[in-house]
Every structure is written in C-alpha cells, then in structure tokens.
Amino acid sequence: MKTHDHAQVQLLRRILLGIVVVLWGALFFRLIQIQVFEHERYQPLSQKNALRLETVAGTRGTIYDKNGEILVENQPVFTVTITPIDYDTSNNQQIASILNIEIDEYMRRIERARRYSRHRPSVLAAEIPFGPYSLLEENRWRLPGIGFRQQDKRNYPSSARASHVFGYLREADLDETQASESIRLGDKIGKSGLELVYDPMLRGGLGERYYRVNALGQSLGEFTLATNERRNPPRGDDLVLTLDEEVQAYAERLMGNSKGAAVVMDPSNGALLALVSSPDVDLTRLAGRLDREYWADINTDSLTPLFNRVTSASQPPGSTLKPYMGMIGLHMGLITPETVVQNTGTYRLGRDYTDLAPPGDYILETSLAFSSNTYFFELMEQMARQGKLDEWAGYLRDLGLGQRTGIDLGSERPGIVPDSSKMDQLFGSKQWGLGDLINLGIGQGVFSVTPIQLAVSTSLLANGGQRVTPHIVSEQIEGGVSRNVLEHPTTPVEWIEEDALEPIHKGMRAAVQNSVVSWLLEVPELEIAGKTGTAQNPRGQDHGWFTGFAPLNDPKVVVVVFKENGGFGSVSAAPIGSLLIEKVLTGTTNRGYVEQHVDDYVPPAPDEDEDEETDRDIEVPQNVEDP
C-alpha cells in the first residue's frame, strides 16, 4: 500500500477533525437551543405532562333516615384505561376475561382507543366491580398500558328503595353547565327527587388539586407545590330525612308493583315517615353509566314508574271529601251536628243519584260512618243554591286541597277545586248549573286532588286546624358537623274550631269500626279514624282512596293510600292504611291475614254502566297545570 507520509497524515487528520468539530458543533448548538433558549417553552410542557391541575368536586352529601340509618351514600367505582403504545397485546385474552368482555368487543375497544390516540389513555371499561379491579391492580406491573381512574357513584345500602324520594343523577348537559359556574361538563347533578331539590346543598363545592401522572395516564397521587396553595373542595352537605327506613320499606312492600301512592305523615308538623309511589324504579341501575336498555324500559313502561303519584297523581277525592264537606257545612251554618237528612236510596235532582248507604235518617256523624251520599248532596245543593260555590272552594283551599302543598320534592301538581271561574272555563260561561255541582259534594266530577294534598287536609283534622307543610328533609349537616334544622312552616287555619271537629272525628272513627271490612281495618286499641273513597274514572276501573289518622284522641300519624284503578277504597286502599298505622304506632304488625289480603287483592273488572252519578262526562284536563 502506498503509505501516507507524516505531513499528509496530519493534513488528513485535520480535515477529519474539522468535519468532526463542525458536526459536533451543530449538535452542541442544537443542545444549547433546546436547553437554554427554549427552556421556557419546554418547562411548562413537562409540567403539563407530569402534573395535572384538576378541578375536583367535593363528595356529594350522604342522606340519612330519621334514625341515622344511611339511605344514600357514595361508592368509589373504578374505570380501566388503556394506553395503546404501551399495551402488550398478548394480554388480550386474560384482561378480556377478567373484565368479562367478549374478545371481539374487547378488540373493538382497543381499536377505538388506538384511533383516539396511541399515547393517551382511553377508557377500556367503565365502572368495573371491585373484584376485577383489585385483580388488575395487583398485576398492574405486568400489564403495561393499563391504568385506572376512580370516581364516585351513588350507592343505596338501604332496604327502602324510595326511588321517588331520592331521585336520580345524570350528567349535566351543556345548558346546565352554562347556567351555573360550579357545574362542569360531565358532572353529575340531581335530576329528580331530593337529588334535584336539594342539589345545591348535596353537591360538593369545587376545589383544585394537582396530581402527578405518568405517561401511562396513571395518577400517582396528589402533588402539593409548596408555593401553590391548593383549594380543597368543600364536601356536600349531608341530609337527615324525616323518613323512617323501616316504615318506608314496609309501605313499599305493601304497595308492590301496582299503580298507586302511599303517604305516612306526622300530623303535628308534616314530617313524612314514608312516601311511596309505585311502581318505582331501581336507582342502582341509574347510578352508574347510563343503562340505555333500562332507561328505555322505564320511559316506555305503561305503568309510568318515573311518575311520582304522591305529588302528581291528580284524581277526584271521592268520599274522602265528606269530612271536609261536614266541616265547611258546620262553619257556614248550613248544618249542625244534629241536622237530620233522610236517605231514601236515591237523591233526586233532575235525575237520580244513587246512595248505597242503608236507607234511613242520617246526622253528620252517621253519614260519615256509612258514607251516605244523600246528606252531602243535600248540603252541596244548599251551597249551590245560595251561590256559595266560590266560598266553598276557598275553604277547601284553606284545607290544602286543589293547590300545591310546598313539599320539598318538586314536580307537584295543583289539582282542581272548581270555583265559578273554573266552571266557566271548563263548561263555558253560564253553561253549567246545579246538576254539575251536586257531584262535587261527594268528591266526584271536575274535582281532583293529589295524595299529598289529602295528607295535609287529613292532618288538619288530626291536629285541630294547623296546616302543615309536608316535608322529607329535617336537617342539613354542613361539612359533616354543624346541623341546621330546616324550617317547614305550620299555619293555623283560623276558621276551624276544635268543637266542630268532634262529630267529624266520631264519624271517621265509626267509619272504620262499622265498615263492612272492619276486620281488615280495625285494631281496637289504636283507635283508627278514617275515610275510604272511590274516585269514579270514566276511562277505566275506579280509583281507591283511604285517608286516616290514629289514635283518635291524640293523633300521631296520618296515612293516605291511593290505589289507581284499585276499585273500592275500602278493600283496596284502606287495609294498607290500617297496616301502616299499626306499623308506625306499634313498631310492628302481626296481622298476617291483612297482609295476605293486600297481596292477593285483585281489583274487579271495570263496571260498564257505573256512570250513574256523573251526569255529564267532562274530560278534565289532568295534566294541565293551574296558572
């Protein structure tokens, strides 16, 4: 080989050194550019990578019953995420089987995650149970690309379902987030029941926190910067309800799946011990991610399980109106407790009105006891003839009928207590007459009330004239410590005199004792007073009503039971009312035969020519809210 001489070697060496230095210098300048001049640009990028500033919502408040039993609480749920770039596909089968996902579906989800981003975590399986979660978490080190997120969801540990009381949560939509500063997209907010009405109290405040995440999207716990003060999110307020878990659960069991409503209330203050609208929905299936199938089911179900019948089923009160007719009659001076009205079996005014009570002479007390229609037709006729329809309607409203009660559940319907302007509206001005009013005296016709309204009016009878505001929440606990008693006003109805109530009480007590089904209703030592009713229904089987209170001399509880299409109130609704009263007053029930009756009860088929008492079949717009 031709060797290079020394000078030549040194020249070549310098050329090579020159090339090396130039290329090295290029890299070195690049390093200076990135590390020194672009530091300001990359520093926040790495912070953003490693630290996530997250607005966090405080925990939603817990809901307790009156005895401190937990009714609604929060449960952590876990979501599995996947970061495709780090994921090892040889784990497919194993993870799919742990998550209990079909392998085809599993592959679809991975493909979807890949399309979203190969480097960012996507949800692989939302809200998985704790078992699979802990299995995956333990093996996390050998499952690259798999990560977890934790969220809260509502949990219902109670034996009471009370779905219409609690209500459900849903993710806030765009409009709702724009309406409030403290709601972010995707936050869950109350959509019905207490969750809706008390949402501002229950919902935790917003705070901020930094947490560290790695490239796999796994949160590595909270990170506190010494210089940054983080804001802890205030947790939501807890609520203590007036509800009694046991009574509520028992009422739900008695109502079963048939359409209806039951209200158990303390007449002294309006505190609700139980509130049942049946059928109800399974809140646990509405708590997590949307179960579309179930959601569609309950929205299309002909039994309308989402509809709260306690506050919104607006139907004629039937004979349960009679005690109030008596009170108003006495107050107006149209009758005295001794006024006698003869029942001949039919009341004749332009047409015949049937009276199913045994023929004979009736005073107020006995007419209530045997539910004689004649007595109240007579009374209503007098009022109508004297042009006192509006006065009558005013008194009924004083008692809480035909207007919203102010219950803390929302979605209340006002019902209808017709006065002359309402009659004008329904029948046309001057197009109605005496014949259209007689029926109102026995709670039929263009007259409708809700179960909760009847509970308020019955409380008035029981507590001597105090109008209560029915309510479910008694206390709010702020920050888990300070308890605030929530005010629910009670206002006296001035025109009610204690003395005037006596014949009414006696009549209602006798109504239970003398009922043809008194064996189902009577618990002698409890002195149950009550009134059944059957609301005529031109569109199907009649609705059964029961309203009652006990004990007669010192009423502690008011019960209203409404059975939609249940037929006669005495056999459909009253036995349930009797059992509920017994449960509240004695803490237990030992009349299995009544429970058996309730369970076995099947309403009779609707009677074709039942409509005798309704002379004009007016479609009362049930769903129209009063102005």
Partner 1 sequence: MNPIQDTRWSLVGLWLMLCSIGLIAIYSATQGPVSEFLPAAIQSTFAKQVLVIGLSVVVMIAIQFMNPRVLILLSRIAYPIGILLMIATLWVGKEVNGAQSWIVLFGFNLQTGEIMKPILIMAAAFYISSQRELNLVKPRHFAVVTGLFALPIGLLLLQNDLGTALIFIALYPVLLFWSGFPKGMVLLLTIPPLVGYAALYHWGFGLAIGIMLTLIIISMQKPRWQVLAALAIGASVLLFIQIGLEAVLQPYQVARIRTFIQPELDPQGAGWNVLQAKTALGSGGLFGKGFMEGTQTQLRYLPEQWTDFIFCVIGEEWGFLGAGFVMMMFLVLFWTMLQMMGDQSHPYSQTVILGFMAVYFFHFLINIGSSTGLLPVIGVPLPFVSYGGSSMLTNSIMIAIALNFDRNKRSFSIYR
Note the residues at the interface with partner 1 (CB under 8 A).
Answer: 1-4, 6, 9-10, 12-13, 16-17, 20-21, 23-24, 26-28, 30-32, 34-36, 38-39, 41-43, 45-47, 49-51, 85, 117-120, 141-142, 144, 212-216, 218, 220
Nearer to partner 1, 43 or 299 (CB): 43
Region at 209 (left for phi over 0; alpha for psi -120 to 50; beta for the rest): beta
Give the integer Cα–Cα distance in Å for 83 and 118.
6
DSSP 464: T
Report the nearest approach of partner 1 to the CB of residue 80 (Å): 16
**For partner 1, which is the closer residue by CB, 3 or 590?**
3
Closest CA to 366 of 396, 322, 328: 322
In our burial notation (b when 16+ CB lie closer than 10 A, e otherwise), range 34-66 reads eeeeeeeeeeeeeeeeeeeeeebbbbbbbbbbb
Q: Is 534 helix (H, G, I), strand (E, B) or coil?
A: strand
CB 58 within 8 A of CB 233: yes
Residue at 255: amino acid letter: M
Minimum CB distance to partner 1, residue 219 (Å): 11
Token readout for 364 is 């107020």
Minimum distance of partner 1 from residue 119's CB (angstroms):
5
Q: Which residues of 422-457 are buried (b: 16+ CB within 10 A; e: fewer)?
A: bbeebbeeeebeeebbbbbbbbbbbbbbbbbbbbbb
Q: Which residue has the tokens 């998550």?
A: 99
Q: 70 - beta bridge partners?
A: 64
Measured from the CB of residue 34, what is the shortest distance to partner 1 in angstroms? 5
Q: What does the alpha-carbon distance between residue 342 and residue 345 come to, in Å, rounded to a whole number?
A: 9
The residue among 41 and 292 lying less far from partner 1, judged by its C-beta, is 41
Minimal distance in Å, beta carbon 182 to partner 1? Answer: 31
CB of 122 to partner 1, least distance (A): 12
Is 39 or 231 the residue whose CB approaches partner 1 more closely? 39
Which residue, chain included where needed, has tokens 């002479």?
361
Enter the tokens of residue 564. 């939609």
Q: What's the maximum distance between 2 C-alpha atoms anywhere in the chain?
A: 146
Cβ atoms within 10 Å, residue 89: 10
Could you tell me the smallest distance in angstroms from the CB atom of residue 49 to partner 1?
6
The pair of structure tokens assigned to 8 is 């030549």
Can you say whether the dihedral through the CA atoms of 451, 453, 456, 459 is positive or negative? negative
Alpha helices in 464-568 (DSSP H): 498-513, 518-521
Give the CA angle between residues 406, 411, 415 to the nearest 5°. 70
For partner 1, the closer CB: 218 or 614: 218
Of how many residues is the chain composed?
627
Q: Which is nearer to partner 1, 209 or 397 (CB)?
A: 209
Instruction: Please give the structure tokens belonging to residue 392.
Output: 């009558």
Smallest distance from partner 1 to CB 227, Å: 16
The dihedral built from the CA positions of residue 487, 483, 64 and 299, taken in this order, carries a sign that is positive
How far is the C-alpha of 341 from the C-alpha of 337, rounded, in Å? 11
* Choice between 143 and 202, CB closer to partner 1: 143
If the CB atoms of residues 50 and 477 are measured against partner 1, the closer one turns out to be 50
Q: Which neighbouring-strand residues pair with 209?
A: 54
346: which strand partners?
Answer: 354
Query: How many other β-carbons are positioned within 10 Å of the β-carbon of residue 161?
Result: 21
Using the minimum distance from each CB to partner 1, give the nearer residue, 86 or 378: 86
Q: How far is the CB of 142 from partner 1 (least distance, A)?
A: 7
**Residue 186 C-beta: closest distance to partner 1, Å:** 23
Q: In whole angstroms, how close is the CB of 17 to partner 1 at the nearest point?
A: 5
Q: Which of 551, 355, 533, 546 shows the shortest CA–CA distance to 438? A: 355
Return the number of the residue (15 or 303) whose C-beta is nearest partner 1: 15
Identity of the amino acid at 299: N
Cβ distance to partner 1 smaller for residue 117 or 431: 117
CB of 213 to partner 1, least distance (A): 7
Work out how close the CB of 224 gets to partner 1 at its nearest, in angstroms, rounded to a whole number: 15
Amino acid symbol at 474 = S
Amino acid, single-letter form, for residue 252: E
Least distance between partner 1 and beta carbon 148 (Å): 13
Tokens found for residue 396: 């009924």
| Gap between the Cα atoms of 380 and 360, Å rounded | 19
Q: Give the nearer residue to partner 1 in terms of CB position, either 218 or 284.
A: 218
